[in-house]
Each structure stands twice: as structure tokens, then as C-alpha cells.
Amino acid sequence: MTTKGGGGADWACPGGTFCAWDSQDADGNMVVEKDSACRLYDIGSAGLGDQISSYQNRTGVAVGLYNWDGTQWVLLLDVADGERGNLPGSADKQTDAVKVCDG
């Protein structure tokens, strides 16, 4: 997990990783950078929940973005490999966990 400035419209996510930013269009601070290891990363417990607005998946596998509703993990969005974009309004700034190899 990283919290570095940068991002920018060049969608500069390194190959083999999933990246997410706190602003649209890969701008602002990078909130998440995860490798392709198959696991659930609880970013909320690390103080980084409810911040993701844009993403890029270069892991080679599907990635699921989840919200913790107080009792269970709720899937917000399935992100296919190679996909990038802005989260829809209903999921914007709601992600508390990133699950690599979701599908």
C-alpha cells in the first residue's frame, strides 16, 4: 500500500499491479498499489478507506472493490484486468477493501 502524490492523466500504474487514486482520472494521491497476489487487502483498517475515486488494473487477474457495511463486505465493483476509469457515483469514495483475483 502506498500513499504518494502524483497520478495524473497518464494512468501510470506499473505492470503487475492494481492502482487507485483519491481523485478522478488517476489524479491526486495514489491510495493503493497492490501486486497480483490473491488476497483481500483491508485498506479501511489501514486508515485508507472511503478514498478511492479512480483505478487501473494491470494485475493480470480480476480485482473486486468492497465496502464494509458494518456486518459484511459488499461488492461495489468488479474490475477486469486492463480496465481503468472512474468509479460510478454510487461507489465513489466507498471502497474499504481491494480483493485481487476476485473472479
Residue 4 confidence class, pLDDT cut points 50, 70, 90: very low
| Position 8 in a domain | no
Q: Which domain holds residue 79?
A: 18-100
Which residues on neighbouring strands pair with residue 34, listed in sequence order?
18
pLDDT digits (tens, 9 = 90+) for 34-90: 887 888 999 999 999 999 999 999 999 999 999 999 999 999 999 999 999 999 999
| Position 87 in a domain | yes
DSSP 59: S
Q: What is the CATH number of the domain that holds 45?
A: 2.60.20.10
Q: Are strands 73-79 and 63-68 parallel, antiparallel or unpaired?
A: antiparallel
